[in-house]
Amino acid sequence: MRAGESRHILLVDDHAEVRHELALVLTNEGVGECRDAAGREEALAAACSERPDLALVDLSPGTDEALELVGTCARATSRCWSARCTTTPFTFGGR
C-alpha cells in the first residue's frame, strides 16, 4: 500500500450495530474505508469483489463457523486475486 492510499476493510458480524459502530470508528480515525457483511455468503462475495486489505471477523464462542468462513475467504480471495499474488490478513473478535 502506498502512502495516501486508503485501506479497504471488510467487517463481518451478524449484529448490524456492531458493524456500524466499528465502521464509524475506523472511518473517523482514518484507518480505512469499510465494507460490511452480515453472514457467510455476503462475506465471500465481498471478499472477492471488494478485495479488502484486512478483514475483521466476529468469532462467536463455541462455534467453528467463523474459522471455516475465514479459511473459505482466504482460499476464495487467493483465487480471485491470483494476478495480484496477495492475500488478505484476517483477524478475529469475540464476545
Q: In three state form, how does the secondary structure of 28-90 look?
A: HCCCEEEEEECCHHHHHHHHHHHCCCEEEEECCCCCCHHHHHHHHHHHHHHHHCCCCCCCCCE
Write down the pTM of the prediction: 0.72
pLDDT per position as a tens digit, 80-93? 544 443 445 555 55
pLDDT per position as a tens digit, 51-79? 788 888 887 644 567 777 777 777 766 65
Note the pLDDT of residue 86: 46
User: Which domains are assigned to the chain?
Assistant: 10-93 (3.40.50.2300)
Give which of 17, 85, 76 is closest to 43, Cα–Cα.
76
pLDDT per position as a tens digit, 15-35? 999 999 999 999 999 989 999
More confident residue, 75 or 6: 6
